[in-house]
Amino acid sequence: MLGICRILGICFTIFFKHRMANKEHLEILKSGIDRWNAWRTENADVRPDLSGADLSRANLRQADLHAVGLNRTNLCWADLSGASLSEANLHGLIYNHHIRWPANFDPAVRGAINLDELE
């Protein structure tokens, strides 16, 4: 299944290469959740764009992803437990049953694609 996640992530990146994640935002996120959350607090007026990023297997527990562009992002096997996803754009985001979502969160309602349902 990871192979399918990676392949779809690569396809999204190629097909939508004109609309990719903001490199600065992605680097801040990859530097750690504490730094990311502090940056979000200091830059509350910024709407981060992580569109098309490969965040498979990412530890995003407790991340402030409020109003973040996550469309076409690969989140297979990621852990988003406790993350804030209010107003986040999840259209076309891909995930599988291994992902850990915040309690009572339904990604399908927000336009995310469950790879397990495509098999």
Summarised one tens digit per residue, pLDDT across range 74-103 is 999 999 999 999 999 999 898 999 999 999
Instruction: Provide the residue range defining the domain that includes 61.
Output: 2-117
CB 25, CB 56: distance < 8 Å: no
* pLDDT attached to residue 12: 52
Q: Percent of the chain at pLDDT above 90?
A: 74
Residue 97, both tokens: 């049953």
pLDDT(15) > 50: no
The total number of structural domains that make up the chain: 1
The larger pLDDT score, comparing residue 5 to residue 99, is at: 99
- The full DSSP string for 81-119 is TT-B-TT-B-TT-EE-TT-BPPTT--GGGGT-EEGGGT-
